[in-house]
Amino acid sequence: MAEDSKNKNTTYKQHEWYRLDNAALIYPSIQSDRITTMFRLSMTLKEEVDPKILQASLEEVIKWFPFYRVRLKKGFFWYYLEHNPKMPRIERDVRYPLGRLHPNLGRRFLFRVRYWQSRISVEFCHVLTDGTGGMTFLKALIYEYLRRKGKDPGKPGDIPVDILPEEAAEDAYNRFYKSPLPLPDKGRKAFHIKGKMLYPGAIMITTGIIPLDAIIKEAKKYKVSLTAFLVAVYIDALQELQDSQVAQNPKKRPIALQVPVNMRGIYPSKTLRNFSLFVMPEIDPRLGKYNFEEILQIVRETLITQTNEKAISKSLARNVGGQRNWFIRVIPLAFKKLLMPFLYTRMGESLCSGTLSNLGLVKLPDNMSQEVERIDFILGTNPINKTGCGVCGYNDKLVINFGSNTREKCVERLFFTRLIKMGIPVKIEVNEEIKR
């Protein structure tokens, strides 16, 4: 298999450049030390990582993902992705991950591979892909690493072990765009966490490790999905936090959570670039305090009614329609860069109180699974919402990672305390206790 892969790699015609997909268009213009537009996926193995083998594995696997072997370039109207002839290099991990990938430094890949002890991590800029694409790459990297270590990772199943077809690089937003359609509601400015921010580049990570069967049992008790259950707990925690800060109901703001939806489950696409949109369950505390069952009902109904093709197509029409608008298209990039941060704040982050992204249960081939102890998913932060939550299930564990750019852990404490009071065991880890 490896020899066949090498032969195919040498005959593959590499694209010289790629257009940014619709979701990626805004990220280059808003990147900063405060808004890094990064997310992180990790696998912790049962043996310490061999850096030389990991580097060799990365050099092989990047050939299978030619649309990730790119660097960001400026055009007159838009940014675009250009083939990078260099090879990415692995790095030792750092105390504060998810730092900005500065476009003017180094080899300028839009991802980095890091290792520490038995953990291998990949940090992606959202210009390149979403959680599904990133997890596919990490699976392929770990599979190749184990194979080169002399392990038998078993049959790869859906894990790439060769160059991916053209459809993996498509801009699926444009493919499934429909027009004209009514646009979604504009939304309202939401409640945001207060707190003094850490210095740029620092991130506090609070991890809760939970027995998967225990939390699924609790969600089933309420007859909701695991995602709906976690979103409701998060909103309830934010409600208590706002109650402690704002006494009068008329002065309170809506509490809304961004919940990414994997569009590949709605449209028949195999793209490994970005292909997700958000739905936003919301409560309005001006109407009074919501009990947990009321929040659950709102979240459940929102996730059901807003994640079907007809509802999602409205957001798709708004986003892609803006990109295709002739007036927007002819504006030079220099002026778009001034407009994009305003749109990001006004039409995005200001409308929500946080994000909860659940990658679901990650499945690996049986032999490979025996070598992997744990999988983590961490979101980057921004100065408006300050805290975000990444969720990932693997084997018998659910790992919930809160990333925050403030030292206060009010939301994290309220969130995990609720689970513990429900009788769900939670093991807590924090990265500020890590010594390098």
Longest Cα–Cα distance of the chain, Å, equals 69
Domains of the chain: 2-8+15-175 (3.30.559.10), 204-314+351-433 (3.30.559.30)
SS3 for 7-25, per residue? Answer: HHHHHCCCCCEEECCHHHC
- Token output for 93: 């991990």
Strand partners, 91: 114
Check residue 199 and give its pLDDT.
93
> Alpha helix locations (H) across 325-388?
326-330, 333-346, 366-369
Give dist(CA 181, CA 189) in Å, integer: 24
Instruction: Find the angle CA(205)-CA(187)-CA(79) to the nearest 5 degrees.
Output: 65
Check residue 133 and give its pLDDT.
98
Kindly report the pTM of this predicted structure. 0.94
Rounded-to-10 torsion of CA 175, 179, 185, 186: 80
Instruction: State whether the Cα torsion 328-329-331-335 is positive or negative.
Output: positive
Instruction: Find the angle CA(272)-CA(49)-CA(51) to the nearest 5 degrees.
Output: 80
Give dist(CA 267, CA 320) in Å, integer: 16
Buried b / exposed e over 164-194, threshold 16 CB at 10 Å, is beeebbbbbbeebbeeeeeebeeeeebbbbe
Using 50 as the pLDDT threshold, list the residues of the chain that sit under it.
Answer: 1-12, 105-106, 433-436
Decide: helix, strand or coil at residue 147.
helix
- CA-based end-to-end distance of the chain: 39
Identify whether the C-beta of residue 146 lies closer than 8 Å to the C-beta of residue 66. Answer: no
Check residue 128 and give its pLDDT.
97
Q: How many CB atoms lie within 10 A of CB 104?
A: 6
User: Distance of alpha carbon 183 from its chain centroid, rounded?
Assistant: 25
235 residue type, one letter: I
Instruction: Find the angle CA(378)-CA(381)-CA(383) to the nearest 5 degrees.
Output: 170
Check residue 176 and give its pLDDT.
95
Give dist(CA 330, CA 259) in Å, integer: 32
- Token output for 96: 């504060």
